[in-house]
Structure 1
């Protein structure tokens, strides 16, 4: 008798990855067409949501998306906001009056700081640790 657990159930219809739930599908649809880069991000999110994962990959994805403060996708997006609000890096903002430019830049910097400092990341991190058996 084999001591290895059976994985024959993994490829059954009952174990199929379900379609996106209505909330996630609607949010993705609402953001389509804003910019090709946003569409690529949405395509990536859709692929991740609909792909079949291993426990190891699930743990890694949780950490990568929102569980590693400073080195996760939330931080990448916060830094993108910071860049888009900086007139030195986004030339279209230079058409605004100087006070507005400074205010826009300050808000982007504040968002990046607050994302790094205050965005909750403990739940995805704890979920990844539980999956990993920690």
Structure 2
């Protein structure tokens, strides 16, 4: 099967490709230092040469780690934190019912983003790399 990224001289890591590059570009419009740092880290991971062990570890850390030990689970927990007026004072100006609704939806996001089923395919990717 032919790859969308042909071999490059010296077996260099290829560019991100238009779909991923467009996604980074579109999301960079947020102009938030924390998001910019996340994207810089993700771009670094995607464009850096890794060995097999590091590749497996990165996939597990990003989304495949069991028991919620992965970046996607952290994002879910941060969403819950941002959606809760108890931990995000900016939301305290909202009416109480709206605060409750935001907290409930943040909790839902955290629940789904930490669900082990969500991480199963990334975990299976790690297993495929390690030959397990």
Give unpaired runs (5+ residues) of structure 1.
1-11
Which region of structure 1 is more displaced relative to structure 2, 40-49 or 120-129?
A: 120-129
Q: TM-score, normalised by structure 1?
A: 0.86
Aligned to 2:26: 30
Runs of 4+ in 1 over 3 A off after TM superposition: none
Alpha-carbon deviations, 1:53-89, whole Å to 9, x = none?
0000000001000101401000010011001001011
Contact 1:18 1:50 in 2 (8 A): yes
Contact 1:59 1:128 in 2 (8 A): yes
Match of 1:54 among 51, 54, 75: 51
The count of residues paired between Structure 1 and Structure 2 equals: 123
Q: CA deviation at 1:131?
A: 1.5
CA positional deviation for 1:132: 1.4
Q: Normalized against structure 2, the TM-score is what?
A: 0.87
Corresponding position of 1:16: 12
Alpha-carbon RMSD: 1.5
CA distance in 2, matches of 1:22, 1:14: 22
- Asked if the contact 2:75/2:113 (under 8 Å) is kept, the reply is no
Q: CA deviation at 1:123?
A: 1.9
Unaligned runs of 5+ in 2: 1-7
Residue by residue over 1:99-126, the C-alpha shift from the partner in whole angstroms, topping out at 9 and shown as x without a partner, is: 0000001100111012222652222211
Q: Please name the residue that 2:79 is paired with.
A: 81
CA contact (8 A) 1:83 1:90 kept: yes
